[in-house]
Amino acid sequence: MTLAQSVLSGDRLALARLLTLVENNTPEGREALDELFPHAGRAHLVGVTGSPGSGKSSLVNQIALHYRKADSPRRVAIVAVDPTSPFTGGAVLGDRVRMRDLSGDSGVFIRSMATRGSLGGLAQATAGVVQVFDAAGFELVLIETVGAGQAEVDIARLAHTTLVVEAPGMGDEIQAIKAGILEIADILVINKADHPGADNTERALKSMLDLAHPVEKVFRHHGQAMTVSAPEAAHDPALWIPPIVRTVATEGTGVAELVKSISAHAEHLRRSGDWSKRERTRLETELDLMLTQTLAAQFRAQLSESRYDEIVDQLTKRTLSPWEAVKSLMNGNKS
């Protein structure tokens, strides 16, 4: 039995081992991913992003618990991505804290990812890990990213449904940063909604939504730019106006409503055809990345180390520009 087959048969140890192989981008991991690929494509991928301190982790735990406690419980995987932590300490601690709520439940699997590697590498490893969970039969995969940078946004783009989590009392600068992230939000969550300032946060989010959303959505669906207000747009079945949901994750308040919004969004995606559109875009991105890497690796393999070093020497002396260096390397390689 191959490792991929063990994973498909529900072997948790094999799953854990494969995740490590995929995270480290080993040949064995890539091979298993290939074998699992036909079995993936069924899970609902939900990205959760937002500022540090918004309580994302607690919220993700609560969402998982809610799905586990349902009448027909679903298998849930949590992928916690922290691109800024080079120490595994934080991630490991995170897992331990989570364990208290979800330990002993074989329908839940939690994986923390932290890496020193390049950002592209992290996004790719995350995509691989998500695919493994998908193929292994996890029906819901929660992808949690720390922070509010473009990196996190890129990783969240893996998802079918993206939650952006806010908490009351964020400063102005943080609000401004959020403007970029709002664009990718399918559902907005105000967590810690029992804290003072929740009404202000909701007002701020609403006005940013009005600014960011209707035009873009209508433009996309009808092929021409026009402004509609949220109530008007709500009558168009092809449109999704991101709802704002209030939660208090530490007490579980609002989580049921949030889960309803998540299901409603999945339904909307399937009805509008956006589900398969997002799948296609995602697979195309993955293909392009893999193709580029393969081309680069192939090129480097047939390039002599001394020739490369010589070119870099000329670069550092500035007797050759980077573009001239590329042309020189590509010509030299042809001959």
Binding-site member from 129, 141, 151, 164 for a copy of itself (CB under 8 A)? 151
Report the distance separating Cα 197 and Cα 205, nearest Å. Answer: 12
Kindly tell me which of 262 and 269 has the beta carbon lying closer to a copy of itself.
Answer: 269
Single out the residue of 249, 252, 259 nearest to residue 73, CA to CA: 259
Q: What is the DSSP letter of 241?
A: P
- Is the CB of residue 134 less than 8 Å from the CB of residue 4? no
Burial of 109 (0-12, 13-18, 19+ CB in 10 A): buried
- Selected range binding a copy of itself among 7-15, 58-66, 245-253, 317-325, rule: CB under 8 A: 317-325
Is residue 147 close enough to count as binding a copy of itself by CB under 8 A? yes
- Selected range binding a copy of itself among 9-17, 152-160, 222-230, 240-248, rule: CB under 8 A: 152-160
108-114 β-sheet, strand order? 108-114, 76-82, 140-145, 44-50, 161-166, 187-190, 244-246
Kindly tell me which of 231 and 322 has the beta carbon lying closer to a copy of itself.
Answer: 322
Is residue 86 close enough to count as binding a copy of itself by CB under 8 A? yes
Binding-site member from 28, 101, 183, 210 for a copy of itself (CB under 8 A)? 183
Smallest separation, CB 65 to a copy of itself (Å): 21
Kindly tell me which of 24 and 118 has the beta carbon lying closer to a copy of itself.
Answer: 118
What residues contact residue 1 under an 8 Å CB cut-off, 6+ apart? 9
- Is the CB of residue 163 less than 8 Å from the CB of residue 185? yes
Is residue 65 close enough to count as binding a copy of itself by CB under 8 A? no
Is residue 176 close enough to count as binding a copy of itself by CB under 8 A? yes
Is residue 311 close enough to count as binding a copy of itself by CB under 8 A? yes
- Is the CB of residue 55 less than 8 Å from the CB of residue 119? no
Is residue 18 close enough to count as binding a copy of itself by CB under 8 A? no
Placement of tokens 């946004």 in the chain: 153
Binding-site member from 2, 5, 24, 294 for a copy of itself (CB under 8 A)? 294
Smallest separation, CB 34 to a copy of itself (Å): 5
Is residue 50 close enough to count as binding a copy of itself by CB under 8 A? no
- Is the CB of residue 168 less than 8 Å from the CB of residue 196? yes
Binding-site member from 24, 267, 296, 307 for a copy of itself (CB under 8 A)? 296
Element (H, E) at 190: strand 187-190
Q: What is the DSSP letter of 244?
A: E
Amino acid in position 12: R
Q: Which residues bind a copy of itself (CB under 8 A)?
A: 30, 33-34, 37-38, 40-41, 52-53, 82-87, 90, 118-120, 122, 146-154, 171, 173-174, 176-177, 179-181, 183, 276, 279-280, 283-284, 286-288, 290-292, 294-296, 299, 311-312, 315-316, 318-319, 321-326, 329-330
